[in-house]
Structure 1
Amino acid sequence: MKYGIIEDYTETKPLLVRRKDLKGHTLTMVNVIVDSNDTRQHLDDRLQLHQDSITKMSYMAVKICFEMLNATERLVFTHTWGYRDKQGNWQGIIDHLIKNEADLGTLTIFTQERMEVIDYIAMVGSTSVRFVFREPPLSYVSNIFALPFSSSVWLACFVCVLGCAVFLYITSKWEASLGSHPLQLDGSWADVLILIIGAVLQQGCTLEPRRAAGRCVTLLLFVALTILYAAYSANIVVLLRAPSSSVRSLTDLLNSPLKFGASDFEYNRYFFKKLNEPIRKAIYDKKIAPKGQKPNFYSMNEGIEKVRKGLFAFHMELNPGYRLIQETYQEDEKCDLVEIDYINEMDPWLPGQKNSPFKDLFKINFIKIRESGLQACIHHRLHVPKPKCSGTVSTFSSVGITDMYPGMLATLYGMLLAPAVLLLEIAYKRL
């Protein structure tokens, strides 16, 4: 009342400002349950946090919104977010919203088809679905026996060895002209080559120079190669267990030696088949669901265990996956986790009925919830960040056949080459 006159607020204040109390009107939320039916009893407590985390995050924010509007909540449960079937009919959350059986739903990823039949109200939480894997050992993607030295160092080593070989050949020729000895180099390139190979491999040779000039060259050769050998060996020890940083994109992932799998949820099966970009399609067709084989879909526990063992990329929702990793991995196993986005999606939003009369009311109250810090509080309670590596744990790890593959391959080549050289020597002697 102003100066004895009753002011009409219907003309000065919008409807949304005046309609703050719904007088106990029933509002319905549809919740997706995919992990366990026990989630129905633990939607807003801190029990069984590893189950249906995104559903709990959504419900906690919606519950506060309903209380702010003085509305009576009604909960409906479904097993899927909502996709079209072959007949064009919707399922899950989207079906409930289209039929006006619910006002809000669990956080849902944006798709063009959904935007045509529902409205997205607000972002009240965040989650991501990505490939997670442990960086493969460097020996699986590179020849670690060629990595310790740069190309310039390798070139310097070659020049050093070649120079010593030339000087040894000259001194051995000179010594042979002065006299002979059973253990003396006879001035041939073959004997010099045997001595050089022995020095490079840190081995000795029965034939060696007898004069000071030749011995000085031999001493310098062995000292130089011993220093290089020590540096080379130290680098090899480090590289044997060093992780590789070569897998950082979907293309790298496709061409890597890693095996693939995905969590056994409907959204994974939907988006893997929906995305037709060449790299993504190749990942699904060649790695996830090869033709003629059973698709590689696993439970969260099974997939996380495969990631822990290494050389396995698992496509999963990060929130429950990282919580399980925090609970089951050793500290050193958390240090080399890598994630790569496959779907390339935005943060999910709460879905609501198309052109609902409560749409603007919901939006205003969810903004208030976010600005007051309640949304951040809910997020911190349920969100699990990427596990951090303490950096203080050192563990023993054995070396496998794969790590020594180049060395074993060189041995195999030597074994195959030896009989061929023997036959050539026999043929040369007879001819």
Structure 2
Amino acid sequence: MDIWYGYTAFLLVSVFYTSATEGLTDYRVTTILHPPLVMSQGDGNSRKFVGLLPDLLDKIGPMMNATFSLNHVQDNRYGTLDNTGNWTGMIGELVNKQSDIAAAALTVTVERANAVHFSQPFLDSGLSIVMKKPTADGISWKRWKGLLSFLKPFKTGVWIAVICSYAIVSLLYGIILQFDPMEEDGTDSIKKNITRGFPVMFYRFCFQGSFSPSTCTSRSAKMLTCFWCIFVILIFASYITSLAVVFRSGDDELLETPIHSFEDLPLQSEVEYGVPYNSMTYRYFTLKAKDKTDEAIGKQLKKSKDQMPKNVAEGVKRVRDSEGDYVFITEELYARTESGKPPCDLVLVHHSKHRGSYSFACGLESKACHDLDVALVSLKENGILEELIGKWYKSQCDTDFDDDYIKYVTSFEDKKFQAGLFFRTDGISIDKIGSLFILLSLGIVVSIGLLIFDIFFEKRFEVSI
């Protein structure tokens, strides 16, 4: 009797299993390790794939009435055309019908789209700059620069122009005292007259006696002093307004770095940068750049291609080992994963223009991508796909400094915008206040004209008398 019950139970289980699996399609899926999309656990026969994509396929399976057998791509490549015109990597396995679906961080290109079908994207991504978290000791985060914040309202060129203007006006003032016949306070020594001009103009610059009557009797000297005072007042107005913007930026200015965006990379030489050599990122910047900024980055990458990291892990390690003088460009999702791991010493700057997406790929004769599209739409509408992404891209750090830094960068740009294009926290350039120097130049020309007129007119007047 016990044997009869055993046979009966075995028969029922067999019938149930057969019914449950009847009609299921088993798809051969080729993939590649790419944390956190696909990761490996165990070795040999006990090897198991975990990550966002295995979880996603587990959700899709019942919806497609299918099962998925994941296998790692043999040549460890995503898929490109080789010199013989044959596809390598996962794309090659699909073309050669060794696999039915490719599940990985595959980007859609024209060449790939001609060889295989792609599903709709399951994940959006882009490029990011991986950089060392700002510290007080980093070479790129010099806190002592805060002590020189009073110089920030003007760029270096403006400060040089102001100093040169002061020297020219002081020198001209001394010349006027020496040669203008209408000047009564001048001495016979041109050296003393010129020496006197420098403190007089400096006092005016410091608003000492700027509004008191001038003691000089020369019309040319009075005209020069008048234009100099107007110039000084306007310069101080520009300086104070810009200084207020600098102070309003607060402590963020202490985290100063030459890198706030991709546009800053080719405009500076303090920080080196790299990408994985011969990667899709390298080919984008060197061959398919979409704007002048990315083209400039590509030219620099070509010059230093021998120093490029061999892979993403090596590039991130170089950033961590640096003192802030090296940054690494890689795909955004991998960058987020690394920045969210202890010791939590990395921050990111995302590319605002170059965006991409990852999709499943299928053979040209397969209908799997159509079924995957239907399943992905359903998972997106139900919020399940978003939950899976949040699960695998969750930061392990106490503070998501990546988001904090992006807010800092946005705030940095907003403050400059709110202050207007004229006043910027990175200093007023000479092209913004060049009109003030033109005004002073006009005053110098008028003063010289009056000096020449007085010299010749007064001499003629004295002779006639």
Amino acid at match of 1:289: K
Contact 1:109 1:348 in 2 (8 A): yes
Query: What is the match of residue 374 of structure 2?
Result: 364
* Residue 377 of structure 1: aligned partner: 387
CA RMSD of aligned residues (A): 5.6
CA 1:244/1:272 → structure 2, altered by over 3 Å: closer, same or farther?
Answer: closer
Using a 3 Å threshold, how does the CA distance of structure 1 residues 22 and 123 change in structure 2: closer, same or farther? farther
Maintained 8 Å contact 1:21/1:69: no
Provide the residue aligned with 1:429 in structure 2: none
- Residue of structure 2 equivalent to 1:318: 332
Alpha-carbon spacing, 1:354–1:237, altered in 2? closer, same or farther (3 Å) = closer
Amino acid at match of 1:340: H
- CA distance, structure 1, for counterparts of residue 194 and residue 79 of structure 2: 77
Q: Is the CA contact 2:100–2:362 (under 8 Å) kept in the aligned structure 1?
A: yes
Residues in 1 aligned to 2:26 and 2:331: alpha-carbon distance in whole angstroms:
32
Aligned AA (1:259): E
Contact kept in structure 1, 2:171 and 2:197, CA below 8 Å: no
| Equivalent runs, 1:72-111 vs 2, <5 Å | 72-78=67-73, 79-105=76-102, 106-111=104-109
Tell me the residue number matched to 1:195: 199
CA contact (8 A) 1:132 1:314 kept: yes
Deviations 1:316-372 (A, max 9, x none): 1112313333446889x85xx533368x35312111121314343222222222222
Inter-partner Cα distance in structure 1 for 2:290 and 2:199: 58
1:340 alignment partner, one of 343, 351, 359:
351
CA distance in 2: counterparts of 1:278 and 1:234, whole angstroms: 34
Give the C-alpha shift of residue 110 in structure 1. Answer: 0.9
Tell me whether 1:387 sits opposite 2:403 in the alignment.
yes
Q: Deviations over 1:125-160 (max 9, x none)?
A: 222234456898899xxx958439989x969x969x
Residues 149 and 37 from structure 1, CA distance in 2 versus in 1: closer, same or farther, beyond 3 angstroms? closer
Matched, 1:262 2:270: no
What are the superposed Cα offsets for residues 345-403 of structure 1, whole Å, 9 maximum, x if unpaired? 53121111213143432222222222221111112223468522487xxxxxxxxxxx9
Asked if structure 2 preserves the Cα contact closer than 8 Å seen for 1:304 and 1:321, the reply is no
Amino acid of the structure 1 residue aligned with 2:29 = M
The offset of 1:62, in angstroms, is 1.9
Query: How far is 1:305 from its partner?
Result: 2.9
Tell me the distance in 1 between the aligned counterparts of 2:28 and 2:66. Answer: 10
The yes-or-no answer on 1:147 pairing with 2:142 is: no
> Residues 187-226 of structure 1: matches in 2 within 5 Å?
188-196=192-200
What TM-score, normalized by structure 1, do the two folds share? 0.57
**In the alignment, does 2:290 pair up with 1:289?**
no
Secondary structure at the counterpart of residue 309 of structure 1: coil
1:309 aligns with 2:317: no
Q: Distance in 2 between matches of 1:128 and 1:176?
A: 71
Classify 1:231/1:316 alpha carbon distance in 2 versus 1 (closer, same or farther; 3 Å). Answer: same
Structure 1: distance between partners of 2:246 and 2:380: 52
> Separation in 2 of the partners of 1:314 and 1:292?
13
1:418 equivalent in structure 2: none
Q: How far does residue 108 in structure 1 lie from its aligned partner after superposition? A: 1.1
TM-score (normalised: structure 2)? 0.53
The 3 A distance-change label for structure 1 pair 306 and 263 is farther
Alpha carbons of structure 1 residues 145 and 24: separation in structure 2 relative to 1, 3 Å: closer
Output the CA distance in 2 between the equivalents of 1:348 and 1:130.
Answer: 16
- Counterpart Cα distance in 1 of 2:170 and 2:214: 17
Measure the CA separation in 1 of the matches of 2:31 and 2:62: 18
Q: Identify unmatched segments of 5+ residues in structure 1.
A: 1-19, 43-51, 203-211, 392-402, 404-431
Kindly provide the amino acid, as one letter, of the partner of residue 390 in structure 2: H
On the 8 A contact 1:288/1:296 being kept in 2, the answer is no
Code of the residue aligned with 1:23 in structure 2: it is G
Stretches of structure 2 lacking an aligned partner (at least 5 in a row): 1-19, 43-48, 135-139, 146-150, 207-212, 217-221, 395-399, 409-425, 427-465
In 1, the alpha carbon distance for the partners of 2:281 and 2:301 equals: 11
State the aligned residue count.
Answer: 331
Rate the CA distance shift 1:77–1:263 in 2: closer, same or farther, 3 A: same
* Residue 458 of structure 2: aligned partner: none
In structure 2, what is the equivalent of residue 5 of structure 1?
none
In 2, the alpha carbon distance for the partners of 1:96 and 1:73 equals: 16
User: Per-residue deviation at 1:247?
Assistant: 7.0
Provide the C-alpha distance between the structure 2 equivalents of 1:176 and 1:267, rounded to a whole number of angstroms: 75
Q: Matched residues, percent identical?
A: 12
AA of the residue aligned to 2:324: K
2:113 match:
115
| Aligned-pair CA distance for 1:94 | 0.6
Inter-CA distance 351–192: structure 2 relative to 1 (3 Å threshold): same
CA distance change for structure 1 residues 317 and 293 in 2, over 3 Å: closer, same or farther? Answer: closer
Q: Which letter maps to 1:62?
A: L
**Cα separation, partners in 2 of 1:200 and 1:320, compared to 1, 3 Å:** farther
Counterparts of 1:188 and 1:269 in 2: how far apart (Å)? 66
Pair 129,388 (structure 1): closer, same or farther in 2 beyond 3 Å: same
Greater fraction of residues in helix? 2
Alpha-carbon distance in 2 for matches of 1:38, 1:248: 30
Query: What's the CA shift for 1:294?
Result: 3.7
- AA paired with 1:33? L
Change (3 A) 1:69 1:81: same
Distance change (3 Å), C-alpha of 1:330 and 1:35: closer
Structure-2 change in CA distance of 1:369 and 1:297 (3 Å): same
| Superposition deviation, residue 90 in structure 1 | 1.4
In structure 2, the partner of 1:421 is none
